[in-house]
């Protein structure tokens, strides 16, 4: 990687990704090399227990665009992405899910939207609901309605997407406000960005679920945790939420 700043830093939070990491990195690099962007890829391993770290080391040797940070303690996706952003060299940063259930082809467009002046550009997932995933979709939809109601982000249609882009200088103060470092971090990031008056731009992206991928998500258990965390946040920050609503209706 040259000493000059790249146009863009892509953060990949990694945890037990050995089944698909090599292919994902190659697909990302193939896509970004077709764009006009100079870039770096920062893989943050969150104390994986499989062969992810070995694969990361091999990929860094193969691709000069890549580098890594290894956590000695598991912090969750929010903690891993935060580490990556703080270590990024570029002025524009973003993260996507390393399983590529949303393709990297949208990255250059999202980066250009940040360059235009939008504070946060998010990939709004569009996917076909199958019967096997109907309950998961329903819980996601209910949660989104609660976020809109409790926080006031009625203009957003996918707050939890793992496909977000921003200017580093803009997002760093937001990261300092986020308490959670696991999955609720996504909600906190959006909530604090909204309460701080940042602007959002939504990009429709196709979501293709990998049915063969093992998941650690327990829909009912994790949904209850999300709801409890959201209610606690709304109570704790009710003054800020009320003030932001006044500003938007003034």
Q: Is residue 49 part of a domain?
A: yes
Half-sphere exposure of 14 (CA within 13 A, CB side): 34
pTM: 0.93
Q: Is residue 113 part of a domain?
A: yes
Q: Which two tokens stand for residue 31?
A: 């896509």
Report yes or no on 197 lying in a domain. Answer: yes
The model's pLDDT over 101-140, given as tens digits with 9 standing for 90+, comes to: 999 999 999 999 999 999 999 999 998 766 666 787 888 8
| Residue 209: pLDDT over 90 | no
Q: If you average pLDDT over residues 226-249, what whole number do you get?
A: 95
Q: Which residues pair with 63 in a beta bridge?
A: none
Query: Residue 39 in contact with residue 121, Cβ under 8 Å?
Result: no
pLDDT of residue 212: 59
User: Is residue 1, in this structure, part of any structural domain at all?
Assistant: no
Residue 2 is assigned to a structural domain of this protein: no
Q: Is-contact 111 88, C-beta < 8 A? A: no
The domain tally of the chain equals 1
**Whole-number Å distance between alpha carbons of 36 and 177:** 34
Print the domain residue range for 33. Answer: 8-249
Report yes or no on 3 lying in a domain: no
Question: Is 123 among the domain residues?
Answer: yes
pLDDT in tens, 133-185: 678 788 889 999 999 999 999 999 999 999 999 999 999 999 999 999 999 99
CATH number of 18's domain: 3.90.550.10
Spatial neighbors of 9 by CB under 8 A, at least 6 apart, are: 39, 40, 41, 42, 84, 85, 88, 89, 90, 92, 93, 94, 168
Q: Is residue 166 in a domain?
A: yes
């Amino acid at each position: 990687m040259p000493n000059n700043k790249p146009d863009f830093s892509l953060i990949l939070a990694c945890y037990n990704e050995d089944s698909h990491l090599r292919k994902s990195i190659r697909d990302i690099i193939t896509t970004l090399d077709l764009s006009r962007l100079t870039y770096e890829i920062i893989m943050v391993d969150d104390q994986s227990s499989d062969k992810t770290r070995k694969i990361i080391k091999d990929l860094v040797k193969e691709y000069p665009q890549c580098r890594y940070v290894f956590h000695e303690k598991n912090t969750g996706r929010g903690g891993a992405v935060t580490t990556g952003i703080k270590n990024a060299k570029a002025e524009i940063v973003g993260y996507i899910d390393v399983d590529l259930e949303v393709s990297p082809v949208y990255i250059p467009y999202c980066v250009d939207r940040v360059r235009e002046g939008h504070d946060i550009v998010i990939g709004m997932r569009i996917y076909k609901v199958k019967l096997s995933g109907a309950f998961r979709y329903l819980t996601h939809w209910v949660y989104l309605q609660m976020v809109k109601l409790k926080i006031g982000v009625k203009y957003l249609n996918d707050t939890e997407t793992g496909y977000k882009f921003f200017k580093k200088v803009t997002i760093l103060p937001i990261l300092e406000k986020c308490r959670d470092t696991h999955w609720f971090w996504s909600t906190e990031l959006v909530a604090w960005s909204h309460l701080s008056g940042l602007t959002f731009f939504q990009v429709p992206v196709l979501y293709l679920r990998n049915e063969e991928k093992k998941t650690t998500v327990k829909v009912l258990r994790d949904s209850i945790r999300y709801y409890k965390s959201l209610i606690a946040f709304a109570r704790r920050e009710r003054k800020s939420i009320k003030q932001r609503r006044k500003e938007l209706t003034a």
